[in-house]
Amino acid sequence: MDLQIIYMVVGLLILGAAAGYSAGLFGVGGGAIIVPALFYTYISLGFEQDIAMRTAIATSAATIIVTSLRSAWSHHQRGAVDWQLVWPRNPLRSWGVWIGVGSLLAALFVSNWLSGDALVLIFGVFIAGIALQFIFGRPDWKIAQQVPGGIAPPLAGTVLGGLCSLMGIGFGSIGVTLMVLCGKRIHRAVGTASALGFFIGVPATIGYIISGYGAPGRPIYSLGYVSIIGFVLISASSYLFAPLGVKTAHSLSQGKLRMVLGIALLLVALNMLRKALLA
């Protein structure tokens, strides 16, 4: 086997372990770690920035399916998932359903209207804003006493699901912030966001497979924009390490968990902004 392939396989396994641990710890993982890591990997292998970013986002979206299920189950065993938000008796009031609608529409249509540079910039700006809120925002600051229902899931869920799909991230980066501001304890917010990530991963993956069908310049063994090699290796590794992240999360205080999450997201965001603005 070629030495370069061996290095890539080992790197993807390590990347998956880090993503799985992060998903369990923060309710994020796919986008926050996998997208920038895969992006730079494909750039170093000589792929154009547009293809590199689209492939990184699509492959990350696919891995969210496995990571979110594993992480959500581990949080569920600790009673930290609000299933009434994920899948209530009336599916039309489900945040999961509308997040899925937005995710699919963004992957199928909106992503093809944006350049690779624009996707990198959107990713960096959005994640930076969320990170700063976690670092400097007051822990007791709330905009509501509970996560809103009614018309909020169709409107906000569709928009937020679309944004997550465009960035290749699970619902943790956005969802944890939203739920904490609406009165959820951060551990329960992380667990619920992990479950909602599934509703981003499946529709986004389908959308990126369809929208990337036949696109030139993609890595070998890709299904649309989704790298099969990246998906298999990262998913397998992240599946094993997600429960370890969950265990760590429940051993930390709310304040420490907010600060660690904020710093981690800010570092990722700054690196992506550097790439978008200085390339």
- Which of 27, 98, 32, 26 lies closest to 60, judged by CA? 32
Q: Are 208 and 230 in contact (CB under 8 A)?
A: no
How confident is the prediction for the chain on average, in pLDDT? 84
Torsion from C-alpha of 65, 70, 75, 78, nearest 10 degrees? 150
Return the residue matching tokens 């963004």.
106
Report residue 212's pLDDT band, with 50, 70 and 90 as the boundaries.
Answer: very high
pLDDT tens, residue by residue, 247-269: 887 787 767 777 877 887 788 78
Per-domain residue ranges for the chain?
A: 3-278
pLDDT of residue 20: 77
Tens digits of per-residue pLDDT, 9-58? 887 888 888 877 876 776 655 566 788 778 878 887 788 888 988 999 99
Long-range contacts, stretch 222-231, CB < 8 angstroms, 24+ apart: 222/55, 224/58, 225/54, 225/55, 225/57, 225/58, 225/59, 226/55, 226/58, 226/59, 226/61, 226/62, 227/38, 227/55, 227/58, 227/59, 229/12, 230/12, 230/38, 230/59, 230/63, 231/59, 231/62, 231/63
Confidence grade of residue 4 (pLDDT, cut at 50, 70, 90):
low
Q: Is residue 1 pLDDT above 60, yes or no?
A: no
CA distance 94 to 91: 5
- Predicted local distance difference test score (pLDDT) of residue 121: 85
Percent of the chain with pLDDT over 90: 28
**pLDDT greater at residue 98 or residue 234:** 98
Query: Which one-letter amino acid corresponds to residue 61?
Result: A
> Averaging pLDDT over each range in 181-195, 205-219, 226-240, which range is the top one?
205-219
Give the list of residues 6+ apart from residue 227 with CB closer than 8 angstroms, or none: 38, 55, 58, 59, 219, 221
How much is the pLDDT for 270? 85
